[in-house]
Structure formats: C-alpha cells, structure tokens
Structure 1
Amino acid sequence: MKKIILAIDGYSACGKSSTAKAVAAELNYTYIDTGAMYRAVTLYFHEHHVSLTNDKEVEKALNNIDITFHNNAEKETETFLNGLNVEDEIRKMYISEKVSHVSSLAAVREAMVAQQRKLGKKSGIVMDGRDIGTVVFPEAELKVFMFADVYVRAGRRQKELMEKGQLVDLSDIIQNLEKRDKIDSTREVSPLRQAKDAIELDSSFLTLEEQVDHIVRLALGKILEEKKETISA
C-alpha cells in the first residue's frame, strides 16, 4: 500500500501530539514530534545560558545539539538531547514559557526544519507542529489543521501537568497559551498558519479516539486516492 506524508499543524494543547502519535500507530507510520525538538533546543539554551540576541552564541549552540527519538519499553516515543532522555524535563512549565521565543529565531527554525526534512525523507510519517504543512512539507499528501477553545486547551494542559506532578493555576496556563499563540502566529519566520489545502479539525469537544478516527479515515481516503492516481497514470 502506498504511504503518504501526513502533516498536522495547530495551536498548543489542542491535542496535536497525542492524536498524531495514535494516528501513526494506527497506520503503522513513523511519528515525529517537532514540538519536542524545539523544546529540547529551549532546554539546551536554558542550561547553557545562551543569549537569544547573540547570533554567534545561538549558532554555536545549535552546532552542539543532537536530537533523536527512541521508543521506551511501552513503545512510547521519548526525546533525547545529546544522548540524554529529556522527555519529562522538556514538558515542564518553565520550558513552555520560553519555547515560543526560542522557536521564533530564524537560525533555530532553519536548523530544525533541516533535521525534520531529513527525518521525513521517506513517506509513511506523521509529523505535527506549527509549520509542517506550510514550510517543512508543503507537498504533504494530507494536511490537517487543529484548533480548540482556549479554556478547553488550558484544562487539558493542566491535567497533563498534574499527571506529571506539577500544580499550575489554570489562569497562568491560559495566559501562557494566549502568549504563545500570539508569538507563534506573528513571528516573521514560519508563522503558525493554516495551509490553504489543510482540512480543519476543531477538537474542543472531541475525544482523543474521535480525533484519531477522523484523521485515520482521512488518511485512508487519501491513500486510496493516491493509489488510483498511480494506477491511472
């Protein structure tokens, strides 16, 4: 069966990563968490006190960053930064507060997009982020743009943090999400926006299973369509 590239873009905490992981598992595709890549860079910059306004410092830091993904015993994808498992650390609130500023830097986005394209050379991948369908893989056969009500998103993020032992006030999370939305949507380099040929998905009142089922059906339909085109050609 022909394999495709599936790009899922959208706002923070609207369910992109959880949905993308599950869709990849259903299709037996490779999942690539681009958000985790930017979070890993943010962690490195934080730990090494990299000045975001110093181009030479940023470039030097990026040359020292190696990001990989590996599955744990439960077959869940975890993020490694220079050989160290940083999956839990990059999900913490202090990283969430810094990641949009770091990911808005042209040098950072250029370096990460290059890595993402390298990881996705072969079809049969599900990749989620902010600019996958517009910049990283504009040729993706299926593009989905996810969004949700900010209060729903904040509730989901709060629950996620609580499960990791972090207690954060809901109002602080809402403020963080709105701030990130503004930065992501207005940055000069690869801003968050919906690709013209992307299919919208409002996840506000959908369960994870419903989100996954919807996108899997879209993917199977696109795979069948691509197969027919190949045969007719």
Structure 2
Amino acid sequence: MNIITIDGPSGSGKGTLATKLAQHYQFQLLDSGAIYRLLGLSLAEQGLLNTLNGNIAEAVHVATHLDIEFIPSNAGILTYLNGQDVSKQIRQEDVGQFASKVAAVAPLRDALLARQRQFATLQGLVADGRDMGTVVFPQAQAKIYLTASVTSRAERRYKQLQAMGVDAKLSAILINIEERDRRDMEREVAPLKPATDAIIIDSSHLSIDTVFNQMCAYIDTKLI
C-alpha cells in the first residue's frame, strides 16, 4: 500500500497540495487537521473544550463517535460533521485554536489515531497533517515536510478566508499562527517536526504548481 504524508505548519499549503496529489495519483485523502478541528468544534459546542481535564472520558467518547465525511469538489474538500457541511466553519481561526488545544491532549490524540489509520486503503492514501510521517504513518513510502515563513502563511490564510466570505484580520491571523506554531512545536505529545526521512520544502516564494512538481518528482521515486 502506498502512503504519502505531508506534514507542516498551518498555512504552508498542505491542504491544497494534498488534494492535488490525491487527484493526481487517484488516492484517498485524509485531512487530519480537519479531524482535529471537527473534534474541537464538537467539544466547544458541547461545552467540554474548556473543561477537558475534568471531562476526559466524555471528550474521548465524543472523539470516538464523530460522524465525519470528506467529499472532494472543484472548490476543494467539503467537510461534513453529523451530516452538516461545516467546511467554512472549521476554517475559522477560533476553530484552529480549538484544534490545537485538542492536539495537546494525549487521550484525545489516541482516540483519533485509529480513526485516521482507517483512511489507509489499498487504493493508496495522501495524509495531510502535523504528525502523519512521524506518528500516524511512520511506514509511509513518501514523506514531505512543507513549511513557509510566518508572514507568507498569514497572508495566504487571510486571502483564503476572504475568498470563503469569512471576516478576518491579518494581524490577528499572524498572532494566532505564531501562537499555534509555538504550541504545536513545544507540546510533549507528537510535536510538529519533520520525520527523519522526510524531504523538506519551503514554499514561501514558490507557486503551488512549482511545489506540486517538486513533490511529484520526489514521490515518483518512492512509490512501490
């Protein structure tokens, strides 16, 4: 089974490129960041996010029973939670903060780990996240760590949210990304870092097509 992992910080272009790669190789697609956002959103709506330490068992139950569906479309991946399209909602900055809080709690990561691994099929998989190559799929044939400067990532997220009709401020996005980077890289459980056998690509000053071509050139040497 062929597995391609793309790890890296928020706003580096992982989602767009993972979608293009999944379409190119006709593989399944896993947006692990969306799964964490979905859990964060669900916990917030149920009033559990700010009381995780006292409600771990209940939060794990929610994680285990999330009803999630990813549907590819011309506009990207449509994300459904309990049958409702939450594609725009989970891309808001506050939900990104929810996801980062969830990712720092070991029992919740454990609860979502098996769910993520279920996405691997004989068809092949492109897995987009922060610990895909280091923790979830260490056996992956092709591992990519995609990064970019904080400024370029903030500008990309701002434009993305504008295009989705979501009101956002660039300065707030920049601060949120810096805080999230620090939290993701310094957490004790599965910190954000490149796998030792991953190729590292900095997309700060590269077009999507240029990065895509670099990825394909690398991946084609790794697939079995």
Which category of TM-score, normalised to the shorter sequence, fits these structures? over 0.9
Give the Cα separation in 2 of the matches to 1:75 and 1:148.
23
Deviation at 1:211, TM superposition (A): 1.1
Q: Which residue of 1 aligns with 2:173?
A: 173
Deviation at 1:69, TM superposition (A): 1.6
Q: Which runs of 5+ in 2 are unaligned?
A: none
Letter in 2 for 1:70: I
TM, length-normalised to structure 1: 0.89
2:60–2:111 Cα contact (<8 Å) kept: no
Q: Which residue of 2 aligns with 1:219?
A: 219
Give the Cα separation in 2 of the matches to 1:77 and 1:161.
15
Q: Which runs of 5+ in 1 are unaligned?
A: 227-233
Does 2:84 align with 1:94? Answer: no
Q: Which residue of 2 aligns with 1:164?
A: 164
Q: Which residue of 1 aligns with 2:63?
A: 62
Give the Cα separation in 2 of the matches to 1:143 and 1:111.
23
Give the Cα separation in 1 of the matches to 2:157 and 2:210.
19
Give the Cα separation in 2 of the matches to 1:85 and 1:167.
19
- Number of equivalent positions: 221
2:33–2:99 Cα contact (<8 Å) kept: no
Letter in 2 for 1:178: E
- SS for the counterpart of 1:166 is coil
Q: Which residue of 2 aligns with 1:80?
A: 80
Letter in 1 for 2:15: S
Letter in 2 for 1:88: K
Give the Cα separation in 2 of the matches to 1:25 and 1:65.
26
Give the Cα separation in 2 of the matches to 1:118 and 1:64.
14
TM, length-normalised to structure 2: 0.93
1:26–1:216 Cα contact (<8 Å) kept: no
Give the Cα separation in 1 of the matches to 2:77 and 2:161.
18
- SS for the counterpart of 1:135 is helix
- SS for the counterpart of 1:71 is strand
Report runs of 4+ in structure 1 exceeding 3 Å deviation.
Answer: none
- 1:86-130 CA-to-partner distances (Å, cap 9, x unmatched) read 111111122123221112111221122111111114351111100
Give the Cα separation in 2 of the matches to 1:60 and 1:221.
41
1:16–1:128 Cα contact (<8 Å) kept: yes
Give the Cα separation in 1 of the matches to 2:176 and 2:9.
12
Does 2:18 align with 1:20? Answer: yes
Distance change (3 Å), C-alpha of 1:121 and 1:26 = closer
Letter in 1 for 2:43: F
Question: Larger Rg: 1 or 2?
Answer: 1
Q: Which residue of 1 aligns with 2:185?
A: 185
- 1:143-192 CA-to-partner distances (Å, cap 9, x unmatched) read 00011010000000000111122232222111100110111111121111
